[in-house]
Amino acid sequence: MRRFLAARSTGFSLRGRLVWQFVALSLVLVVALFFAVRLAAERASRASQDAVLGAAVIAVADAIRPVDDGLAFDLPYAAFSMLGAMGNERIFYSLSIGPRHVSGYEDLPPPPVPAEALSPVFYSADYGVNRLRLASVTRRVLLEDSLREVTVVLGQTRYGQALIARDTARIAAWVGMGFLLLAVPMALLAARAVIGPVDLLAEAVTRRGPQDLRPVRHPAPRELLPLVGALNGFIARLRGALQMAETFIFEAAHRIRTPLSLVRTEAEIALAETSDEATRIRLRRMLRAIGESSRSASQILDHATVLYRSEQFEPEPVDLAALAAGVLRALEPVAEMREIAFVASGLDQPVRVQGDGRMLEVALRNILDNALKYSHDEGRIFVALRRQDGRTELTVEDEGRGLSPDDGDLSGRFRRGSNVGEIVGSGLGLTIIEEAATAHGGSFSLKPRAEKGACAILSLPSSPSPSA
Amino acid sequence: MRFLLVEDSDDLAAAVVSRLALDGHGVDRAATLLEARDFLDSAPYDLILLDISLPDGDGRDFLARERQARRDTPVIMMTASASLSDRVSTLDRGADDYITKPFDFAELLARCRAVLRRHAGAADSRQHFKGFTFDALAATLTIGDETRELRARELRLLEILLSRPGQTYSKSHLIDRLFSFDEEVSDNAIEVYVGRLRRKLDGSGARLETLRGVGYRLIPE
């Protein structure tokens, strides 16, 4: 039996999606972190080096002093050596008075805006092959009786800073990689924690028996409650529909049976009273059809009973031996009519199983009914109950026509063996037995006997775990 | 056998009464539980055929009251709803057996015999004919001191023949009465049982005569 229909998959897994999203998010964060660290490091080092450069340019400017015949100017080497502290940097300077270049590199790029006041102006510019960071400061000096603007420009390469920035970036990159590697197992863990309750719920629903229509009571996270609620609502509606169908079946069977029994009785009387052979043949056909429909009605009721009871399966100890003996007693008169003898063994001592007594009774009755139906007159039916390897087995063997080799699986609903001839039957019997067996965690098989006839085996766990 | 049929549908009751009369059984019919009580007070019955749903109550409650009052006439419940809980509750309340409508009369009679057999001594089922005594419940034929066992179909055949001694029954009539309609039976099948019964009737003062092309009858020797 198919237990559930596979839902159409959207092609992605929630778990996979969660993991990928966690990892992708981590990647974005790591890259952002990398750039942030690099930028911050660069800024910090530039700011500190600018401070040194600024101090140096001010020191140079302060070293300019007017003397009698012009300006005196000393390069402050201490300041320059500070500039080289970061590594082998190249240092350039120029000194100009007004627009006139006086000393140093003449073509050093001038500041974009003239420096005012005391604080230096910082800027970056290319000079030859070098990228320079420059600082410029302007002082007013009394020269030849007039105030002249003296501008000092001090430039410096920043190879050391670039090196430090590269180091910082490398460290940031390693740290980022570390985070990323850590993010993968963490994402897997987080996804498992999130998906776990969904998996458990799905498992709890999947584990249910095919007839289990109780509401889902499995604890579910808040986000899944609407889904569970919808599922339970659906189950409740299905139960309602099933119950209505059952009531309908019982009611319909009842209504059909009363007029049917009148028809049957009248037909029997007519058959006994008429001697016209053609009429007798018609009446026999009629009686056979009535037999068939009343048997079908019984089996439909049995099937409804089994479905209903397996849906609310509550196992309790059942004495299978007493049950089988009772069913045999009930069928004895029918067997006797055709001089069929029941040969029972193992029914004199209680044999307990966990199960639903009524469902098992329906199953036993249908097994024996089937055996009776296919037995020859004056045949024997062997009924044996025994415990074997932790299972309880009821074997019913008949000496009838058996099964034809190409029948294979006989249990499909309304299917019948190919060699049943004129024997009345709807074929629902085997389905009923099988469903009752399944509800008990057991199994049912029907196979040909070595000698003649068929052998039906109902196998139940001796102390079964409920199927639900 | 003497039956009390408690059934509210007039048509069905009339049909069942005629059908049982065919087998030579006497049947009184009550349409309600009240009528049933009157019948039971006025005459002894071998067996009650009791419907479950009746105009003035549930047949099962009636049955429970009968059993409480220690009146133990065997009861076979008849019902149209064959639900399992119906059957279980009926047997719990003291019914001897249960049969679902529409029933096979051969099965009903087989069930009646089984029930009456369990109530040993409740009914005198012996019939005398010429030199033998036939006991339908014990399934025996007694000739002088010798008791011969009858198998189910021999018994049924003798029952039919004895219900109207001397009457000729055709092969197909006997087949209809002896076999279930669900079975596919050849015309010759009846000959086996006639042959067996004939041997058991040896020396009984009665003879099972074959009228070639017509049928069989039971006649004094």
Q: What's the burial of A259, exposed, middle or buried (CB within 10 Å: 0-12/13-18/19+)?
A: middle
Residue that has been written with the tokens 């740290």 in this structure: A175
Q: Which of B147, B98, B125 is nearest to B24 (CA)?
A: B125
Domains belonging to chain B, first-starting first, are 2-118 (3.40.50.2300), 126-220 (1.10.10.10)
Query: Would you call A269 and B183 a contact, using CB atoms and an 8 Å cutoff?
Result: no
pLDDT for A117: 64
pLDDT for A412 equals: 42
Please state, in angstroms and rounded to a whole number, the distance separating the CA atoms of residues A211 and A1: 11
B189 vs A324, higher pLDDT: A324
How near does any CA of chain B get to the CA of A334, in Å?
6
More confident residue, A220 or B215: B215
Mean pLDDT of chain B: 87
Across the interface, of A255, A333, A424, the residue whose CB is closest to B110 is A333
* Interface pTM, i.e. ipTM: 0.84
What's the confidence (pLDDT) of residue A206? 81
**Residue showing tokens 């190249």:** A90
* B-proximal residues of A, 333-352, CB under 8 Å: 333-334, 336-339
B100–A294: do the CB atoms touch at under 8 Å? yes
Question: DSSP string covering chain B, please?
Answer: -EEEEE-S-HHHHHHHHHHHHHTT-EEEEESSHHHHHHHHHHS--SEEEEESEETTEEHHHHHHHHHHTT----EEEEES---HHHHHHHHHTT-SEEEESS--HHHHHHHHHHHHHHSTTSS--EEEETTEEEETTTTEEEETTEEEE--HHHHHHHHHHHHSTT--B-HHHHHHHHS-TTS---TTHHHHHHHHHHHHTTTSSEEEEEETTTEEEEEE-
Q: What is the CATH number of domain A314-468?
A: 3.30.565.10
The model's pLDDT over B17-37, given as tens digits with 9 standing for 90+, comes to 998 888 888 899 999 999 999
Question: Cβ–Cβ of A421/B84 closer than 8 Å?
Answer: no
Q: Considering only CA atoms, which of A417, A328, A341 is closest in space to residue A375?
A: A341
Looking at residue A407, its pLDDT comes to 55
Q: Residue B96: pLDDT above 70?
A: yes
Q: Please indicate whether, in this complex, the C-beta atoms of A250 and B153 are within 8 angstroms of each other.
A: no
Q: Are A435 and A310 in contact (CB under 8 A)?
A: yes
Assess contact for B90 and B82: CB atoms under 8 A. Answer: no
Instruction: Tell me which amino acid residue B173 is.
Output: H
Task: Please state, in angstroms and rounded to a whole number, the distance separating the CA atoms of residues A201 and A181.
Answer: 31
With 80 as the cut, is the pLDDT of residue B185 above it? no
pLDDT single digits (tens) B131-177: 899 988 888 999 988 999 998 889 989 988 988 888 899 888 888 88
For A265-296, b/e burial (b = at least 16 CB within 10 A) is bbbbbebbeeeeeeebeebbebbbebbbbbbb
Task: Please answer yes or no on whether A338 and B180 come within 8 Å at the CB atom.
Answer: yes
DSSP 8-class letter at A418: T
- Predicted confidence (pLDDT) at residue B122 exceeds the cutoff of 80: no
Nearest CA in chain B to A272: B173
**B41 exposure class (CB count in 10 Å sphere: 0-12, 13-18, 19+):** exposed
- Name beta bridge partners: A454: A448
pLDDT at A468: 37
What's the confidence (pLDDT) of residue A4? 45
Q: Which residue ranges in chain A fall short of pLDDT 50?
A: 1-5, 409, 411-415, 422-424, 464-468
Per-residue model confidence (pLDDT) at position B64: 92
| pLDDT bucket at B121, cuts 50 / 70 / 90 | low
Q: How far is A375 from chain B (nearest CA, A)?
A: 11
User: Measured between beta carbons, which residues in chain A are less than 8 angstroms from residue B172?
Assistant: 277, 280
In this predicted structure, what is the pLDDT of residue B50?
94
- The sign of the torsion formed by the CA atoms of A357, A359, A362, A365 equals negative
